[in-house]
Amino acid sequence: MNKFNVFFLATLSSLIPFSAQAQPTAKLTVVIDGLRHQTGQVCLRIYSNEQGFPGSAKGMVQSGCTKITGNSATKDFYGLKPGNYAVSLYADKNSDSKLNTNFLGIPSEGFGISNNPKVKTRAPKFKEASFNLSQNKTILITMQYLFK
């Protein structure tokens, strides 16, 4: 390699911004408490903004389901970049991979939202459910059931 090539490579590497290097990522552990049944699965979605939150797959960054084995469940998500996130989940009792609702559109299966806002006449907004993730973190979501 001649002197020009060495100089060129050294100059080029100094021009690559530090931010272009790999950014650190974090693990999010979601603990779900208050499950009323021990069958089926809990399905979760992670969002980084209000697009699609809380009920649509549109705009989610990661998703996954975990089998129910008791009154609580845990799901880990890896590789999340630092930022604000919100989580929505539902207890999929019949394992059909959707939140079942009654004829009025009211959930007939349990559900949960990060920060545990009480659901009344509308779904929580992203702003109400979001939290900052800058390093590995564990959050607790308590299931809500609108019907006995």
State how far the Cα of 100 lies from the Cα of 91, in Å rounded to an integer. Answer: 10
Domain for residue 98, yes or no?
Answer: yes
pLDDT band at 112 (very low <50, low <70, confident <90, very high): very high
Q: Considering the chain, what percentage of its residues have pLDDT values greater than 90?
A: 60
How far the first Cα of the chain sits from its last, in Å, is 76
pLDDT band at 146 (very low <50, low <70, confident <90, very high): confident
User: pTM for this one?
Assistant: 0.82
Domain assignment of residue 80, given as a range: 23-142
Domain for residue 14, yes or no?
Answer: no
CATH number reported for the structural domain that contains residue 111 in this entry:
2.60.40
Q: Give the residue from 61, 5, 62, 73 showing the smallest Cα distance to 35.
A: 73
Domain for residue 104, yes or no?
Answer: yes
Domain for residue 15, yes or no?
Answer: no
State how far the Cα of 83 lies from the Cα of 135, in Å rounded to an integer. Answer: 10
- Say which amino acid occupies 12: L
pLDDT digits (tens, 9 = 90+) for 26-84: 999 999 999 998 889 999 999 999 999 999 989 899 999 999 988 899 999 999 999 99
pLDDT at 16 over 70: no
Structure tokens at 41: 């699965």
pLDDT at 9 over 50: no
What pLDDT was estimated at residue 91?
A: 95
What is the count of structural domains for the chain?
Answer: 1
